[in-house]
Structure formats: C-alpha cells, structure tokens
Amino acid sequence: MDFPMRINKYLAHKGHATRREADTLIEKGLVLINGVRATLGSKVTEKDTVEVKSRTLRQYVYLAFNKPKGVITLAETKDEKDSLSYLPSDLKRLRLFPLGRLDKSSCGLILLTNDGRVTDRLLNPDRNHEKTYEVTTKDDLRPSFAEHMEKGVDIEGYTTKATSVEVLTERKFRITLTEGKKHQIRRMVVAMHNEVKDLKRISIMNIKLANLPVGGYRRIEGKELQTFLTSLGL
C-alpha cells in the first residue's frame, strides 16, 4: 500500500468495509487513529494505529484458491473433501463459501469469501463479468473451431453468448465467458465434434490464478481487491 492514505481507502484495503461503509463509520465517530477520532479525509501512515470501535463490523475475507482436479468445490457432507478442506482452521472458522463452482473434473481458480454481497453481483450473467479458461481437447481442433465458438454455439436449444477464443496449440485453446451455464464449455466443445480432456480456470475478472500452486490459496487484498470490489459496484 502507498502511504499516506485516506482512512476510508485504508479500511477498504484491509477488507474491513467498502469506502462508503468506512465513511459511515467515520461519521459515526467509530474510527480512531492513534486514539483520536478520525474525520472524513483523514490520512494514515504505516506507523499509525487504526481502531474500529463498532462491534457489528464484520471483517470480510477474500481468497483465491487453486482447486485440484478430482476435488469438489463444496461438499454436502463432512465426509467429502472440498475446497474449504485445504484451508487452515483459523480461516475455516470464518464460514467462507465459494463464489460459483467448478466441476469435480476441472481445476483452477475458485474465489472464497464470507462477503454475501458479492454473490449475485459476480454470478448474475446479466452483469457480463469475464471468466477465462484454458482447455485441452482429446482431438485436434478444426480450422474453423475458434470462429464458430466465438459466434456462439447451439447447446441443446440454447445459443451461447459471443465470446473470445484463442487457439494455443492443435489441442489447446483459451476461452473467455461472460455467462456460466452448467458444463457450458464441455457442451460447447461436444457441439464442435470434440471432447474436453482438461479444463482449468485461470482468471475471474481481474483476479488471476498465475503461479498459485495446486491446492494453495492466497489473500486478495490491496489494489487487486479494490479493483475487484469497485467493478462489482461495492
């Protein structure tokens, strides 16, 4: 983070509240900087101590998780291993949940949070938020594969939205979707007379999987988090 920083931006970076929520807390006199009540526009440095007096304030947590292939996103029983099983006990206590799902046979980026405000804003297809995947097929891609996929594919009476497709190798491509029908990519590939061998999600909006190890997680914070929340209207 770059200091000095406005107090509302600082609280947003730390995941305590959105900037608007932070302004409300400040106006109510619930935010202290070095023991002194903060005012709108107050700035903090690395050496300052910030305290939020409101007991009703919930600290939101946002995680990027690299789901392994063969693991379900969210188990219905405690006997099954799922994405949350990979987290340490202190994070499990926060009642995190996944934003959307990935098939058991797929791998890659899953977002975990305890912020219920994000769910509809991210998953509603009318909002057109981008999710990108890398896909390996069992057979070589046809010459017209990308063109047909980009225009939209008929899957059992539904025509998919126009999308972006980049062919990487003879049997691998990258696709960006703004919707999420059940098994959509797999069904699109079948409609193109092929079959998916491996599917990995590599990004959700501005959140990238990058070099996150399989089964590993990292916190989403700072500028990355602020960009994500702002894009969702929070």
CA angle 76, 196, 87 (to 5 degrees): 35
Task: Please state the φ and ψ torsions of residue 122, each to the nearest 5 degrees.
Answer: -90, -40
Instruction: For residue 198, indicate whether it is catalytic.
Output: no
| Alpha carbons within 13 A on the beta-carbon side of 188 | 29
Q: Which of 23, 90, 103, 115 is catalytic?
A: 103
Tell me if the bond preceding 143 is cis, omega within 30° of 0: no
Q: What's the DSSP call for residue 212?
A: P
Q: Where are the alpha helices (DSSP H) in the chain?
A: 7-13, 19-27, 89-92, 118-123, 145-151, 184-191, 222-231
3-state helix, strand, coil in the chain (%, to 5): 25, 30, 45
- For strand 172-177 and strand 131-137, is the pairing parallel, antiparallel, or unpaired? antiparallel
**Which residues are annotated as catalytic?**
103
